[in-house]
Structure 1
Amino acid sequence: MNIKTTLLSSAILVALTACGGSDNDDSPTTPQSAKFSLGVSDAPVSGLREVNVVFNSITLRQAEVGQDITFATREADDESKPEMVNLLDYTGDENDLTMTSHVVYEDGSIAPLVVKRKGNDGIGEIQLDGFTLNQADNDFVLEFDLKKSLVDPQNSDEIFLKPRGVRLENLAESEDIEGTVSDALIANCETDNIALAAADGSFAHALYLYSSDVAAPLDIYEVNEDETPADAPLATADVVFDSEDNQYEFELAFITPGDYQLAYTCAAHIDDAEIQDEAFTLYQVKPITVTAGDDLDVTFTVSQ
């Protein structure tokens, strides 16, 4: 999983959050500063050559005082241009789409990429849940789970990016899950689910991460765009064949320590973020624990 060079790295002033150093309650507290750095990564998706997202600015909103701190994000060699990131580099006929957010298909055709939240409110904005900014260096990664977040509406020429498929993780507080899926398990899954094969007979293999208390794991469909269902996957990762190691591998990056369920499926090709896929099935599920300070290695194979 590749992390792009930091989009911004600045000292930001966080007022009214530090404890004073005096016994006098009337003494003003000394404002503290913290360094906030943001990188970008992704969990890939098939069928696209590029997923280019333009970042115009980053806004931090302080919960206590309600003050916004905004940073413009610009190309290093041209401050007039917003920062553009091809997410797949890291895991209009009259308009120049290459200057805005867009996707590039395998055949070279281009389609606009639009961030669109429920009710058309805040088009172009990705709003994330709250986080704690420590009085030190803060290295965050904006993780795009493209399998969950990219939507191709049938009645539109645009591709939508759903904000709920994007999560913010602190590198200091997250670990990676990586591992392999055996050839035998992949073959068994495809044989047992032959009725789910794509028209060309192919399958899409993936790993889904769930909370440990989920009793009936769901697919990536989200009924409510403003809230992820409790039984939905927290993250996904494609299973990819590594020709050098001669094995099928996967990686889930930036996972907060804790207890989870990790599930393998060969039916990821029928999992649509906009449709409830009743036929979707998980082939093997196992409990795992992510421990602070250690990446986790997991092997999926035929049960003995």
Structure 2
Amino acid sequence: MKTAITTTAALVSISLLAACGGGSSGELEPQMASFSLGVSDAPVNGAKAVMVCFSEIELTGNGVGSQSFTIGDDDVAAEANDNCRDGQGNLLPNTRGIDLLLLDGAKSEALITGAEFAAGNYGQLRLEIAEGSYVELEDGMREPLRVPSNELKLGGVTLSAGGTFNYTLEFDLRKAMVNPPGQDGYLLKPTGLRLVDNSEVGHLEGQVDEGLLITNSCTVAPADASLPVATVYLYQGADRPLAELSDNGGNNTYQPYASTNVYFDGVSEYNYSIGFIEADMYTAALSCDVADDPEQADAIEFLQAQNVTIAASATAVTLDFTE
């Protein structure tokens, strides 16, 4: 995991006029809140790196105009970041490049930390994505990564006066990243992105028995440990029937809340992890089918499912799949 970059936004100055007695008025100090935003990821097949270049964070819909934070507008964030470059190889100013594939499970990287925004109920958070984003494939080739209108639009946040708020944007690339036929490179869609309050989430991790994989003719002990051997899907609610579970592009009754790969550790264990899950009851299901096109229904066979309760905690819940 990369070292997190800490940024501090300039205070947003807002003057509010209030009537006082005989028509006099006074200037009130704006009520502020501290806001931090990190990013995390669930892995995707076929890529060695997924570099996303962030340039601006904007909160809108508070009744006082949009509040924005541009990467690099303060001294700390202006530290060199050579991950984002234009087509001629020139460094793009005011960008922060983050390789999402380094941030699986409960790992995250700070995009902004302790930025001061006017308190209020914001209807939408927008992330401006700069050119220079790319996907590095397993053969070393790089393909451009695009975002519709160069902007990711997410749900809103409520920032109460004087509060400190920490959010994480979880990129479920198995849902969000597609390779449209006939188009150049990859497309990153808001589908599968979750903006969560860190005080309301937990994490899930576990292992899969090798015997279970062997019994079901799944891949075991691959020579290349970067290749997944199975997948774990997570569905909101308990006791979801296997026959009614959908893959990321399917239309069965229950759609995945999240999904991730199971990897061989090169010795004896098969591990998986899913991070930043909203506290709730879930059904976790295991499959040895690792191909899942988010644009269409795939023939996914689920081997077994278990209920799991995720509590708001920094400590991950352990759930193993055994014979």
**Relative to structure 2, which stretch is displaced further, 64-73 or 138-147?**
64-73
Gaps of 5+ in 2: 16-25, 82-92, 105-129, 220-226
Q: Which residue in the other structure is 1:292 paired with?
A: 312
Distance in structure 1 (CA, Å) of the matches to 2:247 and 2:2: 27
Matched, 1:275 2:296: yes
Q: Which residue in the other structure is 2:88 paired with?
A: none
Residue pair 2:55, 2:96 contacting (<8 A) in 1 also: yes
Distance in structure 1 (CA, Å) of the matches to 2:152 and 2:274: 22
Q: What's the TM-score, normalizing by structure 2?
A: 0.72
Distance in structure 2 (CA, Å) of the matches to 1:163 and 1:48: 19
Moved over 6 A (4+): 27-30
Distance in structure 1 (CA, Å) of the matches to 2:5 and 2:255: 30
Matched, 1:71 2:98: no
Matched, 1:167 2:194: yes
Residue pair 2:204, 2:316 contacting (<8 A) in 1 also: yes
**Which SS does the other structure have where 1:283 is aligned?**
strand
Residue identity in the other structure for 2:232: L
Residue identity in the other structure for 2:157: F
Distance in structure 2 (CA, Å) of the matches to 1:272 and 1:159: 13
Query: How much does 1:64 deviate?
Result: 4.5
1:80-91 to 2 correspondence within 5 Å? Answer: 80-91=93-104
Q: Which residue in the other structure is 1:182 paired with?
A: 209
- Cα 1:11–1:139, aligned 2, differ >3 Å: closer, same or farther? farther
Distance in structure 1 (CA, Å) of the matches to 2:37 and 2:234: 24
Matched, 1:242 2:244: no
Matched, 1:111 2:143: yes
Q: Which residue in the other structure is 1:261 paired with?
A: 283
Q: Which residue in the other structure is 2:151 paired with?
A: 125
Distance in structure 2 (CA, Å) of the matches to 1:38 and 1:112: 25
Query: How much does 1:106 deviate?
Result: 1.7
- Cα 1:172–1:9, aligned 2, differ >3 Å: closer, same or farther? farther
Distance in structure 2 (CA, Å) of the matches to 1:105 and 1:37: 31
- Cα 1:248–1:9, aligned 2, differ >3 Å: closer, same or farther? farther
Q: Which residue in the other structure is 1:51 paired with?
A: 50
Matched, 1:209 2:234: yes
Residue identity in the other structure for 1:285: A
Q: Which residue in the other structure is 2:108 paired with?
A: none
Describe the superposition over 1:216-270 as per-residue Cα deviations: whole angstroms up to 9, x where unpaired.
22110178xxxxx9721111111111236x211111101111111111111121x
Distance in structure 2 (CA, Å) of the matches to 1:7 and 1:234: 30
Residue pair 2:201, 2:311 contacting (<8 A) in 1 also: no
Residue identity in the other structure for 1:41: S
- Cα 1:90–1:295, aligned 2, differ >3 Å: closer, same or farther? closer
Residue identity in the other structure for 1:108: G
**Which SS does the other structure have where 2:216 is aligned?**
helix
Q: What's the TM-score, normalizing by structure 1?
A: 0.76
Q: Which residue in the other structure is 1:21 paired with?
A: none
Residue pair 2:199, 2:312 contacting (<8 A) in 1 also: no
Describe the superposition over 1:27-50 as per-residue Cα deviations: whole angstroms up to 9, x where unpaired.
998642111111121111122111
Query: How much does 1:145 deviate?
Result: 1.0
Q: Which has the higher helix share?
A: 1
Distance in structure 2 (CA, Å) of the matches to 1:288 and 1:167: 20
- Cα 1:14–1:185, aligned 2, differ >3 Å: closer, same or farther? farther
Distance in structure 2 (CA, Å) of the matches to 1:172 and 1:233: 23
**Relative to structure 2, which stretch is displaced further, 28-37 or 143-152?**
28-37
Query: How much does 1:15 deviate?
Result: 7.9
CA RMSD of aligned residues (A): 3.1
Residue pair 2:205, 2:319 contacting (<8 A) in 1 also: yes
Aligned residues: 262
Residue pair 1:238, 1:250 contacting (<8 A) in 2 also: yes
Residue identity in the other structure for 2:141: S
**Which SS does the other structure have where 1:186 is aligned?**
helix
Matched, 1:139 2:166: yes
- Cα 1:203–1:248, aligned 2, differ >3 Å: closer, same or farther? closer
Q: Which has the higher contact order (CA 8 A, sep 6+)?
A: 2
Query: How much does 1:132 deviate?
Result: 2.7
